[in-house]
A and B are shown apart, each in its own frame.
Chain A
């Protein structure tokens, strides 16, 4: 594959650099192989790469017909997801972009609809169902109406049972609802593509700002002289703690998460700039907590239970959050959450909304990724490696009942409320595309 960035090690930075110069198909291939080789990992890097790629894909699309755009994004999305199905943020970003296109297309269609309807003096069999709500806040209801106009099945309201029959009983309306879908260009001159590109840029901005937004809630949750336990070198958690440290004095107990993340954790604690160039822009310029006068205690994971009785609050980062309120996080998280439960210590998970996946965890085992076994037992110990089976799971599934609170860039939510945020961010028809 021709790569213009030979000097860089393959990763997010090199990918973004090559994105503008390479042809679009090469870029897709590039990202697919980066994801497959795990040269882009971390949820945020994957999300950023996906968002930038889709930005390129859409701006390279010559059409601005929503149907074609959706097809294109879907096909790219499927390839990316197939490349790394456990990196759920990729799917999340693709779904959000699909949702963007659909929203824009529907805005267009509704505008057109209103025009045609004004002419026909709204007969009883107009395709506007009962759900065409005038309540300003109820987005779901509005969507429901729009959904039906396009004769798609998902309906959220209980009233769908009794609502005015559109699909079958008024065949006259069908061509009316279909045609705007086929010829969206006839809309009142709005460029769907430009709107979508703007939307993707907003997603990219969101990805940039998400940690700062989350950290703005820090002072509400961390109080003076508290003892906070955390795990792994999550940037979100670090920023969260740093924000609180600027105002308050507290103690942090940091579990090191051997063997996958202990080096990064040590670096985070000591403030030595991490070697990982992917995180260069985020972490390298960040002061460690100790520089702000916070007592940081580094412990091995195995000591978590022993210290839990002294801990006031557990703050965890995550890999992805699932629709039922459960989460997939670095291995060892479940042990911590379980220990916290036993000691009745509150568990707070900080996570950007972009990590929230509409996927329902039917099969927990399939969500767990297994990593490099040599981190557990180096291959130098060849004799031992021959005789035993070494495994290194990277993630844990933490069930919803072990989590007390989620803090996202939108605020704090109970795990049982996450379904609501899911339905606000993703369209039903995109959940499995």
Chain B
């Protein structure tokens, strides 16, 4: 029965379009992270699609997750959310008697369906928590180098400027590495992170913006690097905005600490062995002949959504920073070493 409803949805009929609702969620709230949007989309799905048995629900989730992943050029972030949701459901069901004695499943279902807003709020609160943990890293007089448009980093830096807890506000400087790619979503065409730059400057923090090519030059004047992450993988490495890997390598070479700020719901069960091992279809390296270029001018290619995974636009491309380059992960469950990530993941999977 579930199969029927799903197949009709996949065909683009009425029932419930998980991809659309996921994209809508992301659009409607700029503060929403991909995993949370995915969880929200699944919650909406469960509200719309009636399912009364456990296996029916799991099946429904599984199918929608696959659809969602296929439709998204970069499924790493959202798969953290869908996995967490699925594991939560399964683990809770395996331990009977905690959310109500007999009507177990119903209780969990109602809990999940009625608390969608709460999850979003908690996710946002976790950023606050991270900021509280990470505050200690930013000392008076230090210079922080950062990149990308991570909201967690932005909230950490802003928290450091206006601190009620400490007697005097910390004075620090920020070097912001701006991407050379134009931000596709932004009509003004300014690179990612300008908003944070403005916000920090408004708070009286001196911010310098540099191009990616100047990172090695600027690191000498930097005390630490703080970056955000799209996903934190099992070995403690991070999947993050293109350019993060090279900052990590340079920071290691110059001997500056490299900290990652990420919410723990971004931990994803993935074990990439290298840059080209990510489940993402991105053509950063694209060899061309003279003929290809003339051909491309004639007919600009449109991304086709066939059976194949659609391609990630260049401005959204990501890279993988291996764990040995990371000094520490500042998460909402504390300051962790990269190897602690696998333990957190093991806790929910096994």
Please list the residues of chain A having a beta carbon within 8 angstroms of any beta carbon in chain B: 121-124, 128, 130, 132-134, 138, 140-141, 153-165, 168-169, 323-325, 360, 362-363, 414, 416-417, 419-420, 423, 428
Tell me whether B98 and A162 are in contact (CB under 8 A): no
Tell me whether B334 and A161 are in contact (CB under 8 A): no
Rounded to whole angstroms, the CA-CA distance of A362 and B347 in the bound complex is 28
B21 within 8 A of A: no
Residues of the B chain whose Cβ atoms lie less than 8 Å from the Cβ of A419: 336-337, 340
Smallest Cβ-Cβ distance to A157: which chain B residue:
B347
- Option from B100, B123, B137, B345 in Cβ contact (under 8 Å) with A161: B123
Residues of the B chain whose Cβ atoms lie less than 8 Å from the Cβ of A158: 84, 264-265, 267, 333, 344-345, 347-348
Residues of the A chain whose Cβ atoms lie less than 8 Å from the Cβ of B112: 162
Given contacts A138-B347, A419-B337, A420-B343, contact A122 B136 (CB under 8 A): no
Interface residues on B, range: 35 or more
A and B contact pairs by CB, cutoff 8 A, 29 listed? A121-B101, A122-B97, A124-B100, A124-B111, A130-B92, A130-B98, A130-B99, A153-B129, A154-B334, A157-B333, A157-B348, A158-B333, A158-B345, A159-B87, A160-B264, A161-B123, A161-B265, A162-B39, A163-B88, A164-B111, A324-B328, A360-B136, A360-B328, A362-B139, A414-B339, A416-B337, A416-B339, A419-B336, A419-B337
A430–chain B nearest beta-carbon distance, Å: 13
Chain B positions 284-338 with a Cβ under 8 Å from a chain A Cβ: 327-328, 333-338
Smallest Cβ-Cβ distance to B348: which chain A residue:
A158
- Give 11 A-B pairs besides A130-B99, A419-B336 with Cβ atoms closer than 8 angstroms: A122-B97, A130-B92, A141-B347, A159-B91, A159-B348, A160-B122, A160-B333, A161-B39, A161-B265, A165-B111, A324-B327
Which of A123, A133, A165, A414 has the most C-beta atoms of chain B within 10 angstroms of its own C-beta?
A: A165
- Please name the 3 residue pairs, one residue from A and one from B, whose CB atoms are nearest each other, closest first: A416-B339, A124-B100, A162-B88
The A-B contact count (CB < 8 A) is 97
Tell me whether B115 and A165 are in contact (CB under 8 A): yes
Tell me whether A324 and B111 are in contact (CB under 8 A): no
Rounded to whole angstroms, the CA-CA distance of A428 and B88 in the bound complex is 24
B46–chain A nearest beta-carbon distance, Å: 13
Please list the residues of chain B having a beta carbon within 8 angstroms of any beta carbon in chain A: 39, 84-85, 87-88, 91-92, 95, 97-101, 107, 111-112, 115, 118-119, 122-123, 126, 129, 136-137, 139, 264-265, 267, 327-328, 333-340, 343-345, 347-348
Residues of the B chain whose Cβ atoms lie less than 8 Å from the Cβ of A362: 136-137, 139
Tell me whether A124 and B99 are in contact (CB under 8 A): yes
Residues of the A chain whose Cβ atoms lie less than 8 Å from the Cβ of B98: 128, 130, 132
Tell me whether B84 and A420 are in contact (CB under 8 A): no
- Option from A130, A159, A165, A420 in Cβ contact (under 8 Å) with B340: A420
Rounded to whole angstroms, the CA-CA distance of A155 and B336 in the bound complex is 14
Rounded to whole angstroms, the CA-CA distance of A122 and B339 in the bound complex is 38
Smallest Cβ-Cβ distance to B43: which chain A residue:
A162
Tell me whether A159 and B101 are in contact (CB under 8 A): no
Residues of the B chain whose Cβ atoms lie less than 8 Å from the Cβ of A157: 333, 344, 347-348
Residues of the A chain whose Cβ atoms lie less than 8 Å from the Cβ of B339: 414, 416-417
A316–chain B nearest beta-carbon distance, Å: 21
Tell me whether B115 and A169 are in contact (CB under 8 A): yes
Rounded to whole angstroms, the CA-CA distance of A153 and B128 in the bound complex is 12
B350–chain A nearest beta-carbon distance, Å: 10
Rounded to whole angstroms, the CA-CA distance of A428 and B112 in the bound complex is 28
Tell me whether A156 and B118 are in contact (CB under 8 A): no
Residues of the B chain whose Cβ atoms lie less than 8 Å from the Cβ of A141: 347
Tell me whether A134 and B344 are in contact (CB under 8 A): no
Rounded to whole angstroms, the CA-CA distance of A130 and B88 in the bound complex is 9
- Option from B84, B327, B334 in Cβ contact (under 8 Å) with A159: B84
Smallest Cβ-Cβ distance to A123: which chain B residue:
B100
Residues of the B chain whose Cβ atoms lie less than 8 Å from the Cβ of A159: 84, 87-88, 91, 348
Residues of the B chain whose Cβ atoms lie less than 8 Å from the Cβ of A164: 99, 111
Residues of the A chain whose Cβ atoms lie less than 8 Å from the Cβ of B101: 121-122
A361–chain B nearest beta-carbon distance, Å: 10
Which of A138, A156, A161, A362 has the most C-beta atoms of chain B within 10 angstroms of its own C-beta?
A: A161
B169–chain A nearest beta-carbon distance, Å: 17
Tell me whether B338 and A416 are in contact (CB under 8 A): yes
A151–chain B nearest beta-carbon distance, Å: 14
Tell me whether B340 and A124 are in contact (CB under 8 A): no
Tell me whether A323 and B100 are in contact (CB under 8 A): no
Residues of the A chain whose Cβ atoms lie less than 8 Å from the Cβ of B99: 124, 130, 164
Residues of the A chain whose Cβ atoms lie less than 8 Å from the Cβ of B338: 416
Tell me whether A323 and B88 are in contact (CB under 8 A): no
B347–chain A nearest beta-carbon distance, Å: 6
Tell me whether B95 and A134 are in contact (CB under 8 A): yes
Residues of the A chain whose Cβ atoms lie less than 8 Å from the Cβ of B267: 158
Tell me whether B344 and A323 are in contact (CB under 8 A): no
Rounded to whole angstroms, the CA-CA distance of A279 and B339 in the bound complex is 39
Rounded to whole angstroms, the CA-CA distance of A162 and B137 in the bound complex is 29
B65–chain A nearest beta-carbon distance, Å: 16
Smallest Cβ-Cβ distance to A159: which chain B residue:
B88
- Option from B118, B123, B337 in Cβ contact (under 8 Å) with A325: B337
Rounded to whole angstroms, the CA-CA distance of A156 and B118 in the bound complex is 18
Rounded to whole angstroms, the CA-CA distance of A228 and B99 in the bound complex is 58
A134–chain B nearest beta-carbon distance, Å: 6
Tell me whether A162 and B119 are in contact (CB under 8 A): yes
A117–chain B nearest beta-carbon distance, Å: 11
Tell me whether B337 and A124 are in contact (CB under 8 A): no
Smallest Cβ-Cβ distance to B142: which chain A residue:
A363
Which of B39, B123, B265, B333 has the most C-beta atoms of chain A within 10 angstroms of its own C-beta?
A: B333
Residues of the A chain whose Cβ atoms lie less than 8 Å from the Cβ of B265: 158, 161
Rounded to whole angstroms, the CA-CA distance of A128 and B107 in the bound complex is 14
B144–chain A nearest beta-carbon distance, Å: 13
Which of B98, B336, B338 has the most C-beta atoms of chain A within 10 angstroms of its own C-beta?
A: B98
